[in-house]
Amino acid sequence: MTDTTELDLGNIPTNVAIIMDGNGRWAQNRGLPRPVGHKHGVESVQDIVRAAAKLGVKILTLYAFSTENWNRPPLEVQALMGLLKTFLQNELKTITDNNVCLKCLGQKERLPNEVRQVLDNAIAQTADNNGLILNLALSYGGRNEIVRAVQQIAAECRQGLIKPEEIDDALVSAHLDTAGQPDPDLLIRTGGESRLSNFLLWQLSYAEIYITDTLWPDFRKNDFISALIDFQNRQRRFGKTSKQVTES
C-alpha cells in the first residue's frame, strides 16, 4: 500500500487520462449483471473528479464510452446511456459548485437525443468555469477522431485556406477534439489489461502509462494518489538520454 503522504503537491500532472476498465468483471465476480458494475463505476467517477480537482489536476479525461462500445448488448448500452444521463443531471450542481468545466470528446451526435440534451446543457452551464476541465470521451475512438481531423484539414486545403506543406503537429492537434489542450502527462488504466483500446492515439504519444489490477468500481482517491506518486517517480525523457535530462 502506497503511503499517500509521499505525494508532492508541487508536481501534480497537468492532464490525467483514465481508461475506466473492469466494471463488468467487478459485477460478475459478485454474480451480478454487468450494468451493476457500471453503476458502482459512477461512484468512482464522482470520487476521482473530486480528488483531481482538489489535488490541482488541470485536465481529467475519462474514457466513458468508445465507438466500439456501441457493439455491446443493447441492454448494456441502454444502461450505460441511462447512467450517463442521470450522472449529468445529478452532478451538475456539484460540478458547477466545484468550478469544473465539462467538455465532450467524440461523436456527440451519435448519442441518444435525451442524453445529448442534458450533456449540451451541462457543457453550456459550465463553459465559463475555470477550474478542472473534465473531458468525457463519449462515443469516442482515437482513429475516428484522427479521420475527422484529416477530413477537415483536407477540406481547408481544398478551399485554399492552408497549403499541404503547412500541415504540422500543431495543426493536426488543433483539429482534434482536444484542440487547445496540452497532451495527457499520465494515462491510468484500471482492470489490469495492457492496451490503449483506441483511446487518444495521437495525444498519448509521450504519456507515462500506469496500469493497475484494481477494477474501476474499487478505484478511489487513494488509488489515484498512488498513480500520481508513481508518475512523480518517473523520469520523462521525451526521446532524450537520461544524462541530457538530468543535466538540462
Interface residues with ligand FPP (CB under 6 A)?
A: 20-25, 38, 41-42, 45, 62, 64, 69, 80, 83-84, 87, 136, 191, 216
For 40, 48, 150, the CA distances from 59, given in Å and listed in that order, are 23, 12, 25
The x, y and z cell numbers of residue 35, run together, are 450494468
The x, y and z cell numbers of residue 33, run together, are 449483471
Q: Taking the complex as a whole, how short is the minimal distance between the CB of residue 27 and ligand FPP, in angstroms?
A: 8
For 17, 58, 166, 223, the CA distances from 212, given in Å and listed in that order, are 14, 22, 41, 9
69 is catalytic: yes
Instruction: Exactly one of 11, 15, 21, 222 is catalytic; name it.
Output: 21
Looking at the Cβ atoms of 24 and 142, the one nearer to ligand FPP is 24
Looking at the Cβ atoms of 136 and 186, the one nearer to ligand FPP is 136
Q: Taking the complex as a whole, how short is the minimal distance between the CB of residue 199 and ligand FPP, in angstroms?
A: 11
Q: Which residues, other chains included, contact 70 with Cβ-Cβ below 8 Å and sequence gap of 6+?
A: 77, 110, 139
Q: Taking the complex as a whole, how short is the minimal distance between the CB of residue 11 and ligand FPP, in angstroms?
A: 27
Instruction: Exactly one of 47, 69, 121, 183 is catalytic; name it.
Output: 69
CA 87 to CA 155: how far, in whole Å?
37
21 is catalytic: yes
Q: Which residues, other chains included, contact 1 with Cβ-Cβ below 8 Å and sequence gap of 6+?
A: none
Q: Taking the complex as a whole, how short is the minimal distance between the CB of residue 105 and ligand FPP, in angstroms?
A: 12
Across the strands, what pairs with 5? none
Residue whose beta carbon is closest to ligand FPP: 24
Looking at the Cβ atoms of 31 and 164, the one nearer to ligand FPP is 31
Q: Taking the complex as a whole, how short is the minimal distance between the CB of residue 175 and ligand FPP, in angstroms?
A: 25
Looking at the Cβ atoms of 138 and 149, the one nearer to ligand FPP is 138
For 2, 34, 97, 171, the CA distances from 53, given in Å and listed in that order, are 21, 29, 11, 30
Looking at the Cβ atoms of 12 and 49, the one nearer to ligand FPP is 49
CA 39 to CA 79: how far, in whole Å?
9
Give the residue numbers annotated as catalytic, written as ranges: 21, 69
